[in-house]
Structure 1
Amino acid sequence: MTAGAQLTDPVTAPRYDVFHTDCPARDVVDHVTSRWGIWVLISLRQGDLRFYELRDQIQGVSEKMLSQSLRALVEDGLVWRKVEPTTPPRVTYGLTDFGRELGEPLEELFGRITRRLSPPR
């Protein structure tokens, strides 16, 4: 038997009860739809970014909140983190396949919203 992720058939797999407070899927939904998590996923759909590039791109986010959001998304398997042993360390973030999959409808949502808004002045 080989180690690794076990894929399940979405049709026969048991469904999570996301309305229950103990549901593990609820944590992922909370992290994805958090104030800063959603912006991280959309930003990283454009390509891998370093921490400060993300901070500069997502205007208004503090380093603390960005760090917390990234940590949660990495733990959820949506974002990967690569540390290069330089001085200072170079940390790069990118989307996993799961993160790209979840980011796609978010990007579509923002596209729909911006198409309906009045043009910026």
Structure 2
Amino acid sequence: MNLYQFIQLYKDITSQAAGALAQSSTSDEPDEDSSSVTSCQTSFWMGRVKQLIDEEECCICMDGQADLILPCAHSFCQKCIDKWSDRHRNCPICHLQMTRTNESWVVSDAPTEDDMANYILNMANEAGQPHRP
């Protein structure tokens, strides 16, 4: 989890905690469904963590979509890493030296549900057929 993801999660948790605290201070009787409320909140937080992790953002500008990965596995947006590479030949985070200017991988778009469904259907159709080299 990067700093941006942590801050967003922290804001979500503290705002929910403040709301729950305000609600509990106005109500004197114990809530029978407190375990289910806690479970729902935990589920919400874990969903929020997954959403933030799935939407990787550039750790330099914290604005652009991370679409480029260096050999050290740190990811950045193209604009930021290009600006950094003009003056440096290493990773902005771990300072791993880059020996060539093209030592990065472009992250492709994730497949859509239709792409995955078609892929699985094609695999199923080919399962009963002999292997074609």
User: For this structure pair, what is the TM-score category when the shorter chain's length is used for normalisation?
Assistant: under 0.3
Q: Which has the larger radius of gyration?
A: 2
> Which protein has the bigger strand share?
1
TM-score normalised per structure 2? 0.22
> Which protein has the bigger helix share?
2
Bigger relative contact order, structure 1 or 2, given CA contacts below 8 A and separation 6+? 1
